[in-house]
Structure 1
Amino acid sequence: MKESYTHGHQTPVLNAHQQRTIDNSAAYLRPYLAPGMNLLDIGAGPGSITADFARLTGKVTATEIGEEELNLCKRHLLDKGLTVEQGISAKFSVENVHHLSFSDNIFDIAHAHQVIQHVSNPIQALTEMARVVRPGGYVAIRDADYESFFWFPASSKISRWRELYLQVARNNGGEPSAGRRLLSYARQAGLSGARFTTSTWTYTGEEAQQLACSWAERIEQTVLGQQIVETGLTSIQELQEVAQEWREWGSQPGALFVIPHGELLWQKP
């Protein structure tokens, strides 16, 4: 089965991902963070959450699937002044989460945000994350659950967008509704006693409009739109109609969009 990052790394995607912080994307983990911790951030993307981790722990290792993607995180940390001179130890490594190159028991925390939904073997991924964490350390994972998204007002074209996205993501070897499956994955990986919580991203008003514009741009300007057409399930014309519907939907004063997430926290014995 083919495995790839469904969203791609074009500008509309990066603009959205750069809004992520510990507060809005890893609040469940924050109470466990402390200065001096050695934190592994898997799938760091443009590095906004990684930068927050660096400020709190002082020691991070960021990974991505390729050098080009990893450079996005490097540049962000440099732009934020998070350097050795500021007491920050930041390392960067191209990695496959199924086969991490790190030794056993070396990290205090192994973190992955919106990663497990894209991998072909989540059980192996969790097993690897657990392997590289020291006894007493934590595996921390947060993933969205696409089938649980809800919005108002109703829109048949946005429902169609989700249907097409689910198909493409699964064609790419992932599970876009990984959020609800994290506890099951943990049990299968032998991570007994894991704690499962939920949280949401909630968009109203201007934020809903920005979200709608972001998805319209992703459909029109990124590899996501190309992949959807390549499934043979739709046409360019229908995708254009879906993108336009996103914009019209987001401009409505009462627009509301909610993205539920599953969160997994496991402490290694």
Structure 2
Amino acid sequence: MAETATYTHGHHASVLRTHGQRTALNSAKFLLPYLKPHMKVLDVGCGPGTITVDLATYVPEGHVTGLEMVGDILPGARQLAESRGIHNIEFVTGDANTLTYADDSFDVVFCHQVLQHVGDPIAMLQEMKRVCKKGGLVAARDADYSVFMWYPELPGLRRWQDLYDRVARKNGGEPNAGRYLHVWARKAGFQEVACTVSSWCFAKPEEVKWWSEAWQERSVKSAFCKTAIDNGIATMEDLEGLSQVWKQWGEDTDAFISIPSAEIVCRKQ
């Protein structure tokens, strides 16, 4: 089955810069205790590959495959791996709805902030389960946009939150995926599902500046902007206003934002 949803963020430079700050420690820490040196890992929807390359260091006698639908961003991922001297890794183009791998191919199948953007997350988890070895693990981490927490409480950020929800749903996704992960996993046939929650927290001045500047640009230049305008959800004037709200937020000396994500680790029986 081909993907029916559209990726809300797209791959504008402002998006890739944000995703490029993700690491195994800040985005996949829940998975790391399960990794063994010999394991074969599939990272679904790997994006710019920063988490993928990190994961390869945890399985030095094994191998990691980064799978991404948009092949245009993979040269940068390959260059990152080369620059760090990581060789037990490969990056390939593919659709996780129809994986080309045989049954029972991987010890671990992982995805990060992916299931919120797909049309049928249960079917994707079933496909991830299919290529996972018996006794192996399927793991996922996804945010829940409705429970973001920030200071100062600017009304414009609530408007941004509402607009993001509408755009994501128009694209066929579920922006509050975090709360559903464990349910989707059980519907996909997993009986053993471990659940945790962790959060990114941006409070240091350099972190606030980075997040603020990223969303100032993403609000008016990324695929999020195009979808909002093309579907009559917002005008450019609206989006420019939200960009200024992110600027205002970032200029507050007490600015803070917490972005919670739910996590699941599922063992294939």
TM-score range, shorter chain: over 0.9
- Of residues 62, 79, 101, the one that matches 2:83 is 79
1:241 — aligned with what?
241
1:156 — aligned with what?
155
1:19 — aligned with what?
21
Q: In 2, Cα distance between the equivalents of 1:17 and 1:233?
A: 25
Cα deviation, residue 67, structure 1: 1.9
Q: In 2, Cα distance between the equivalents of 1:189 and 1:203?
A: 34
Cα deviation, residue 2, structure 1: 4.7
2:74 alignment partner AA: L
- Once the two structures are superposed, the pairs formed by residues 75-224 of structure 1 within 5 Å of their partners are 75-83=79-87, 88=88, 90-206=89-205, 207-224=207-224
Check conservation: 1:148, 1:260, Cα contact below 8 A.
yes
Check conservation: 1:40, 1:62, Cα contact below 8 A.
yes
Check conservation: 2:166, 2:233, Cα contact below 8 A.
no
Q: Deviations over 1:34-73 (max 9, x none)?
A: 2121000001111110011111113111100132133332
Counting aligned pairs with the same residue, the percent is 39
Q: In 1, Cα distance between the equivalents of 2:4 and 2:268?
A: 32
- Of residues 63, 69, 79, the one that matches 1:65 is 69
Most deviating of 249-258 and 229-238: 229-238
SS where residue 194 of structure 1 aligns? Answer: strand
1:63 alignment partner AA: L
2:264 alignment partner AA: L
Check conservation: 1:2, 1:171, Cα contact below 8 A.
no
Check conservation: 2:220, 2:236, Cα contact below 8 A.
no
Q: 1:2 to 1:131 in 2, by over 3 A?
A: closer
TM-score with structure 1 setting the length: 0.94
Most deviating of 90-99 and 115-124: 90-99
2:228 — aligned with what?
228
Number of residue pairs matched by the alignment = 264
Structure 1 vs Structure 2 CA RMSD: 1.3
Check conservation: 2:23, 2:54, Cα contact below 8 A.
yes
Cα deviation, residue 92, structure 1: 2.5
Q: In 1, Cα distance between the equivalents of 2:68 and 2:74?
A: 5
- Segments of 4+ moved more than 4 angstroms: none
SS where residue 174 of structure 2 aligns? Answer: coil
Cα deviation, residue 209, structure 1: 2.5
2:72 alignment partner AA: E
Most deviating of 230-239 and 189-198: 230-239
Contiguous gaps of at least 5 residues in structure 1: none
Q: In 2, Cα distance between the equivalents of 1:112 and 1:94?
A: 15
Check conservation: 1:38, 1:60, Cα contact below 8 A.
yes
Q: Deviations over 1:177-215 (max 9, x none)?
A: 101100110111111120111010111132122211111
1:43 — aligned with what?
45
Cα deviation, residue 32, structure 1: 0.7
Q: In 2, Cα distance between the equivalents of 1:227 and 1:29?
A: 33
1:81 alignment partner AA: G
Check conservation: 1:205, 1:253, Cα contact below 8 A.
no
